[in-house]
């Protein structure tokens, strides 16, 4: 067993990493749930305050590779402590933000801390647990993610209703302080460092530009239109910067991203699989809140309860699938997970205005089962295929694949369905409950902006679950219809 300073063991390491994983996932949900209140309180517009979410995603995704490499060179323990410190400081500043633009800036600072945590967590667990328990540990970490996603919206709504929207940031302070205090006591000393290597500043700068332009282009595509000069320019710049990054990394003596990692079939397959998994899930879930609230007429508390089925099933299944992959290998559990996910998405596609509501919950449960079966074995396969001195960069690549897949799924689904709602309704399609949405004033431009708001990793968190005050509406609209 791994011990540090005569204290604790690998399970305590998992506890510390779990704290960071939970608050990072929780933070996206609680902020999304309070976005309309933030907009009113700061006397801003939804177009501006949506950048509170968007900036968080862009900064995290653009800096993951950089922090992953720094962790490999200077130590994941040191980077994790810095991540807790920056995330907690950013949370405190977000709570005191006087303007919407100040909140966006402080949110970007908070995202820097989150990126440090995301780039180090899987690497720390992989080094702390033996290979026969790696899948189980990563599965428990995934459970903490899903629990954060499941509890974030309701907790955010409760805090905002009783203590104001600033409380959703202040709640991070005691948790962050606890994590910061435990890091030097619990996390293992850094070993297998690449401290004798020089940091690839040119590669880091180009990767930052490539990821920023790519994600910004995908983010703005549904809102501005894919033929917009701005969007086309961003995507073209991403291609140019991406090509330049590959060229620089191939010739660099000490590259930031070791491209030889992608020559390992297990590593590259796991990255592509993760991207496709998130593309499928987040693209498919973009319209579920619309379906339940507007097409089926549910109150948002009941709709939110149905949507919670998916992350709860994921949380229950992930540790089991991780442990199973430790015993029989990751291939079969991960493959089974993708097959079950496909079946669940097909099940969702058959829902109509007359389908029993139980079918929606069952379909979401099947999807959650598929994701839970897939995620832990796939993550274990990727992390296990990377050398110990490249664990940080491997975790960064995994997180980027996740985020890019998520954003592509949301952007393409939002654009596709918005364009379909604009088209004349054919008689044979009138039974489709989603076509009822076109009669709601402003729904089409709001649906386009949903892709931007949804880019914060919260496909099931589009609801304002604050209690309805006396004299208010009988039920709340999804956030991007408010």
* Same domain assignment for residues 25 and 95: yes
* Cα distance between residue 148 and residue 456, in whole Å: 13
* Same domain assignment for residues 94 and 226: no
Can you give the length of the chain in residues?
482
* Same domain assignment for residues 139 and 272: yes
C-alpha distances (whole Å) from 437 to each of 121, 223, 425, 433, 470 are 42, 18, 12, 8, 27
In which domain, by residue range, is 322 found? 10-186+256-421+430-456
* Same domain assignment for residues 115 and 155: yes
* Same domain assignment for residues 268 and 212: no
Q: What's the N-to-C CA distance of the chain in angstroms?
A: 52
* Same domain assignment for residues 229 and 276: no
Q: Dihedral (C-alpha) 436, 442, 448, 453: value to the nearest 10 degrees?
A: -110
Query: What number of H helices and E strands is found in the chain?
Result: 18, 0
Asked whether residue 440 is assigned to any structural domain, the reply reads yes
* Same domain assignment for residues 313 and 324: yes
pTM of the model: 0.74
Asked whether residue 328 is assigned to any structural domain, the reply reads yes
* Same domain assignment for residues 211 and 162: no
* Cα distance between residue 314 and residue 364, in whole Å: 10
Query: Which DSSP string do the residues of 123-175 spell out, in sequence order?
Result: HHHHHHS-GGGHHHHHHHHHHHHHHHHHHHHHHHHHHHHHH-TTHHHHTHHHH
* Same domain assignment for residues 81 and 29: yes
User: What is the pLDDT, as a whole number, of residue 464?
Assistant: 35
* Cα distance between residue 212 and residue 219, in whole Å: 10
**Residue with structure tokens 């063991």?**
9
User: What is the pLDDT, as a whole number, of residue 195?
Assistant: 58
User: What is the pLDDT, as a whole number, of residue 239?
Assistant: 95
* Same domain assignment for residues 18 and 47: yes
Asked whether residue 251 is assigned to any structural domain, the reply reads yes
Write down which residue in 222, 238, 255 finishes a domain.
255
* Same domain assignment for residues 448 and 368: yes
Asked whether residue 334 is assigned to any structural domain, the reply reads yes
Write down which residue in 214, 235, 255 finishes a domain.
255
**Selection from 20, 127, 106 nearest residue 59 by Cα:** 106
* Same domain assignment for residues 349 and 212: no
**pLDDT tens across the length of the chain (482 residues):** 444 443 347 888 999 998 888 888 787 667 776 777 888 889 888 778 878 888 888 888 888 888 988 888 888 888 999 999 999 999 999 999 999 999 999 999 999 999 999 888 888 888 888 878 888 888 888 888 878 877 777 777 788 878 888 998 998 999 999 999 999 888 888 776 655 778 888 988 998 899 889 888 887 887 788 888 999 999 999 999 999 999 998 888 888 888 888 888 888 888 898 888 888 887 666 667 767 877 788 776 677 778 778 888 988 898 889 888 888 988 899 999 999 999 998 998 888 888 888 898 899 999 999 999 998 899 888 888 888 778 888 888 888 888 788 778 777 766 666 655 555 444 444 444 444 444 444 333 343 444 334 433 333 333 333 333 333 333 333 333 33
User: What is the pLDDT, as a whole number, of residue 443?
Assistant: 39
Asked whether residue 471 is assigned to any structural domain, the reply reads no
Asked whether residue 58 is assigned to any structural domain, the reply reads yes
Q: How many domains does the chain have?
A: 2
User: What is the pLDDT, as a whole number, of residue 355?
Assistant: 87
The DSSP code for 45 is -
């Amino acid at each position: 067993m791994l011990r540090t300073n005569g204290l604790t063991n690998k399970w305590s390491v998992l506890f510390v990493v779990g704290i960071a994983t939970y608050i990072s996932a929780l933070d996206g949900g609680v902020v999304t749930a309070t976005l309309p209140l933030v907009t009113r309180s700061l006397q801003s517009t939804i177009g501006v305050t949506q950048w509170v979410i968007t900036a968080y995603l862009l900064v995290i995704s653009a800096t993951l590779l950089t922090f992953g490499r720094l962790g490999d060179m200077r130590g994941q323990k040191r980077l994790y402590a810095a991540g807790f410190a920056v995330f907690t400081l950013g949370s405190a500043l977000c709570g005191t933000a006087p303007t919407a633009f100040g909140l966006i800036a402080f949110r970007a600072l908070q995202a820097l801390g989150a990126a440090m945590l995301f780039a180090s967590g899987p690497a720390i667990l992989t080094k702390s647990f033996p290979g026969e328990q790696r899948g189980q540990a990563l599965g428990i970490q995934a459970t903490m993610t899903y629990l954060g996603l499941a509890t974030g919206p309701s907790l955010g709504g409760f805090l905002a209703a009783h203590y104001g929207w600033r409380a959703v940031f202040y709640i991070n302070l005691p948790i962050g302080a606890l994590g910061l205090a435990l890091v030097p006591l619990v996390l293992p000393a850094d070993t297998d460092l690449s401290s004798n290597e020089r940091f690839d500043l040119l590669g880091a700068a180009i990767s930052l530009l490539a990821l920023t332009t790519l994600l910004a282009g995908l983010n703005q595509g549904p809102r501005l239109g894919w033929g917009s000069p701005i969007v086309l320019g961003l995507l073209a710049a991403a291609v140019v910067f991406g090509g330049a990054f590959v060229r620089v990394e191939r010739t660099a003596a000490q590259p930031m991203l070791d491209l030889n990692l992608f020559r390992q079939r297990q590593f590259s397959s796991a990255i592509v699989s993760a991207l496709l998994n998130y593309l499928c899930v987040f693209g498919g879930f973009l319209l579920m809140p619309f379906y339940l609230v507007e097409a089926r007429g549910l109150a948002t508390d009941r709709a939110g309860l149905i949507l919670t089925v998916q992350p709860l099933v994921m949380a229950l299944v992930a540790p089991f699938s991780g442990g199973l992959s430790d015993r029989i290998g990751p291939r079969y559990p991960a493959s089974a997970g993708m097959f079950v996910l496909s079946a669940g998405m097909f099940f969702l596609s058959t829902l109509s205005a007359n389908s029993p509501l139980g079918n929606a919950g069952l379909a979401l449960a099947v999807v959650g089962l598929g994701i839970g079966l897939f995620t832990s074995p796939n993550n274990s396969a990727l992390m296990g295929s990377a050398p110990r001195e490249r664990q940080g960069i491997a975790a960064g690549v995994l997180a980027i694949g996740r985020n890019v897949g998520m954003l592509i799924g949301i952007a393409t689904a939002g654009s596709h369905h918005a364009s379909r709602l604009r088209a004349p309704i054919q008689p044979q399609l009138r039974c489709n409950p989603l076509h009822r949405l076109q009669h709601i004033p402003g729904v089409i431009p709001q649906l386009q902006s949903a892709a931007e708001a949804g880019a914060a990793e919260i496909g099931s968190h589009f609801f304002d679950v604050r209690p309805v005050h006396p004299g208010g509406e009988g039920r709340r609209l999804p956030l991007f219809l408010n």
